């Protein structure tokens, strides 16, 4: 595998840009400590749906796993 100079320079440029962005972001956050924090709220109904979906998913995974185990024992 050949890694060209152009690829190395591209990676270094990208890394450099990311470092600069992170420094700017940190500076902005430290300058404005009273900056409002984002808060996400969901309705009770949406929360219930999310819980039901999670429980259903976990139950289905367990059933699927048990059926695979049963098939392995059977076969």
Verify that 50 and 75 share a domain, yes or no: yes
Q: What is the pLDDT of residue 24?
A: 77
pTM: 0.41
**Number of structural domains found in the chain:** 2
Q: Is residue 36 part of a domain?
A: no
Verify that 19 and 46 share a domain, yes or no: no
Q: What is the pLDDT of residue 5?
A: 87
Q: Is residue 15 part of a domain?
A: yes
Q: What is the pLDDT of residue 56?
A: 92
- Whether the predicted pLDDT of 69 surpasses 90: no
Tell me the pLDDT tens digit for each residue of 17-66: 888 888 877 776 676 666 667 777 889 999 999 999 999 999 998 888 88
Q: What is the pLDDT of residue 68?
A: 78
- Residue 33's Cβ-side half-sphere holds a number of Cα atoms within 13 Å equal to 1
Sequence-distant contacts of 58-64: CB under 8 A, at least 24 apart = none
Q: Is residue 37 part of a domain?
A: no
Verify that 49 and 69 share a domain, yes or no: yes
Q: Could you tell me the residue range of the domain that residue 62 belongs to?
A: 42-75
């Amino acid at each position: 595998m050949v890694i060209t100079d152009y690829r190395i320079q591209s990676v270094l440029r990208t890394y450099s840009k990311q470092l600069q962005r992170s420094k700017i972001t940190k500076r902005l956050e430290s300058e404005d400590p009273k900056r409002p924090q984002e808060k996400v709220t969901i309705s009770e109904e949406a929360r219930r749906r999310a819980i039901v979906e999670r429980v259903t998913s976990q139950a289905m995974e367990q059933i699927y796993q048990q059926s695979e185990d049963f098939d392995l024992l059977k076969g």
